[in-house]
Amino acid sequence: MFSLHGIGVGGGIVIGRARRLEASERDVPRYRVCDDQVERELARLETAIEVVKAELQAIAEQLPEEGPAEARALLDVHAMILDDPALVDAARDSVREHLRNAEWAFAAQATHLAAQFDEIDDEYLRERGRDVLQVADRVTRVLSGSRTRTYTGRDEPRIFVAEDLSPADMLSLRSAVGFAIDQGGATSHTAILARGMNVPAVVGAGLASRLIADDDWLVLDGEQGVVIVAPDESVLSQYRHLQALSLREREALQKLLHVPAITKDGTSIQLCANIERPDEAVAALAGGAEGVGLFRSEFLFLNRRELPDEDEQYEAYREAVVAMQGRPVTIRTLDVGADKALARSGAQIAQNPALGRRAIRYCLSQPTMFLAQLRAILRASAHGPVRLLIPMLAHGHEIDQTLRLIGIAKVQLSERGIAFDEGMPVGGMVEIPAAALSASLFVRRLDFLSIGTNDLTQYTLAIDRADHEVASLYEPFHPSVLRLVAMTIRAARRAGKPVAVCGEMAGDWGAAHLLLGMGLREFSMHPASLLRVKREILRADVTQLAPRVARLLQAVDPLRMRAQLARLVGAP
């Protein structure tokens, strides 16, 4: 018996036998072709792409009506990648110019694009590189004659174990009762779909696909991120008991779906969702979200040779606003750097993208592009309540320049006779220490603040949690980080301005009491976390939490802070 640890993405506990799926193709054939073979290679590539598109379409058409809301959207994402010029056109050019075979050209360009995503600071966006590799794997399989990796054995319940697994493959595994995946993070599309399927899953499980054999008995805990291989009878008995408790807990949480998020002392709390694409707004609404606290706009810009025009952006923003049926939608302006916004030839890669010209710094340096996005967001505000969120603020002059451009965008729309909300709120992200320390200044110029605890933690501690050598030092509950969060909340409340937390801390049910005690009244998180956080809110008494949190924030030792937090979770 041994155990593996990764990232739990929910779904409870499952006990069953393993079915190991073959590893992704790594040895892509690489050879040069002759000039007279170029057209043949291009034809092979076109055929493979069309085959994969047809496969994705067939899977989408076979989805049951009661299937996960995210399923079709994720299949559409992979289909869109197959139309991405940064991938497909570049692969064609590689065949023509470098005389590479189709498999080599396509796989190499996919690897190049995925490497660009790896440098993005935002973990959610960084995971999109995995989508490119998954699509490339599917295409190269067709090219090599290995059409699918779907398990075709007996239709009996299995816990599927794989190095990686695309959404399309997951949806094909009808007998799956659980997933243990070597790769991926909490924001990967694999994790998102597992949540939507309500199937226990552990991602980032390291060497699971190498250490687990077919028919091994497994205990998979999707809450704690643990996979126990070949458990003995005492462990099985323990987890059967925990499994029953988990099932009852999930049933109890579902009963909270329509219960208002109000603490014991009568404090009303707003629970919102983070989304990446407009079609995810439907799942957010179904999960009980009272609005969208963070709508990432980057999906419209990444890995394109041409910028999305104003109308394309407007349609995407409008779709999310309409889907939320009158609930507020907070749209964050482009939050990537010059080297990631477009796959343009000659783009220079910043030596340190996290500290370079990214987010609002990049947008202000590209006013034509930025004005198009601002006009699109303003136009969407005519269809429902919209809030505009500015990322990575550090200086007051960045706010002033952005507000001037918003004013210009309003004049341009007015001259065209296009409707928009003249009073659309404008807020700023607090995700670097300078912003937290300047919060009292920011709230005088902005309508609201939103705290990105992921980046705030990384910038405060100088740690990239994607770097495995220092990831263990990443501590979102470090006293310094918590003081910056509390400082920001206090500054906003004193000014009478709304403030939210939209980083992972908001979706950590164990942190709910802490944030409530700091004075937070708006949380934004992945929709799957909403009900658990709501449960903690219903249990909390803010009047009792506030003085306890004030004393807790005086701690300077991270270990002592952790101990006090553990006691706080049990507070009334």
Q: What is the pLDDT of residues 102-124, one digit of tens each?
A: 999 999 999 988 887 877 766 66
DSSP state of 417: T
What's the mean pLDDT when you consider all of the chain? 88
Is residue 189 annotated as a catalytic residue, yes or no?
yes
Claim to verify: residue 336 and residue 288 sit in the same structural domain: yes
State the Cα–Cα distance between residues 510 and 569, nearest whole angstrom: 6
Which of the following is catalytic: 272, 478, 502, 513? Answer: 502
Does pLDDT of 538 surpass 70?
yes
Range of the domain at 367: 270-569
Q: What is the pLDDT of residues 400-417, one digit of tens each?
A: 999 999 999 999 999 999
Helix or strand holding residue 389 (H, E):
strand 386-390
Number of structural domains in the chain? 3
Confidence of residue 192 (pLDDT cuts 50, 70, 90): confident
For strands 176-181 and 329-332, give the pairing: unpaired
- pLDDT at position 344: 47
The domain that holds 20 is classified in CATH as 3.50.30.10
Claim to verify: residue 427 and residue 490 sit in the same structural domain: yes
Does pLDDT of 149 surpass 60?
no
Which of the following is catalytic: 78, 189, 478, 513? Answer: 189
Q: What is the pLDDT of residues 453-507, one digit of tens each?
A: 989 998 999 987 666 567 667 788 999 999 999 999 999 999 999 999 998 899 8
Residue finishing a domain among 144, 177, 209: 144
Claim to verify: residue 70 and residue 10 sit in the same structural domain: no
CA diameter of the chain: 79
Is residue 502 annotated as a catalytic residue, yes or no?
yes
The domain that holds 292 is classified in CATH as 3.20.20.60
Does pLDDT of 24 surpass 70?
no
Does pLDDT of 356 surpass 90?
no
Claim to verify: residue 314 and residue 351 sit in the same structural domain: yes
Confidence of residue 152 (pLDDT cuts 50, 70, 90): very low
Counting beta carbons within 10 angstroms of the beta carbon of residue 431, is it exposed (0 to 12), middle (13 to 18) or buried (19 or more)? buried
Residues ≥6 apart with Cβ < 8 Å to 73: 277, 279, 280
Q: Does any domain span residue 246?
A: no
Q: Does any domain span residue 39?
A: yes
Q: Does any domain span residue 482?
A: yes
Claim to verify: residue 353 and residue 449 sit in the same structural domain: yes
Claim to verify: residue 162 and residue 194 sit in the same structural domain: yes
Claim to verify: residue 215 and residue 277 sit in the same structural domain: no
Does pLDDT of 132 surpass 70?
yes
- pLDDT at position 566: 79
Q: Does any domain span residue 256?
A: no
Share of the chain above pLDDT 70, in %: 90
Residue finishing a domain among 214, 234, 254: 234
- 450 within 8 A of 429, measured Cβ to Cβ: yes
Q: What is the pLDDT of residues 73-99, one digit of tens each?
A: 788 888 889 988 889 999 999 999 999
Claim to verify: residue 387 and residue 531 sit in the same structural domain: yes
Phi-psi region of 91 (alpha: psi -120 to 50; beta: other; left: phi over 0): alpha
Dihedral sign for Cα atoms in the order 527, 63, 186, 77: negative
Claim to verify: residue 110 and residue 212 sit in the same structural domain: no
449 bridge partner residues: 428, 499
Claim to verify: residue 372 and residue 464 sit in the same structural domain: yes
The DSSP annotation for 7-21 comes to EE-SS-EEEEEEEEP
State the Cα–Cα distance between residues 178 and 176, nearest whole angstrom: 6
The domain that holds 123 is classified in CATH as 1.10.274.10
Closest CA to 376 of 317, 427, 307: 317
For the segment 204-233, the average pLDDT, to the nearest whole number, is: 93
Q: Which has more pLDDT, 451 or 7? A: 451
Q: Does any domain span residue 243?
A: no
Confidence of residue 514 (pLDDT cuts 50, 70, 90): very high
State the Cα–Cα distance between residues 415 and 201, nearest whole angstrom: 53
Q: Does any domain span residue 294?
A: yes
Claim to verify: residue 326 and residue 302 sit in the same structural domain: yes
State the Cα–Cα distance between residues 556 and 293, nearest whole angstrom: 31
Confidence of residue 338 (pLDDT cuts 50, 70, 90): low
Closest CA to 202 of 253, 248, 161, 151: 161
Claim to verify: residue 73 and residue 9 sit in the same structural domain: no
Q: Does any domain span residue 62?
A: yes
- 0.85 surpassed by pTM: no
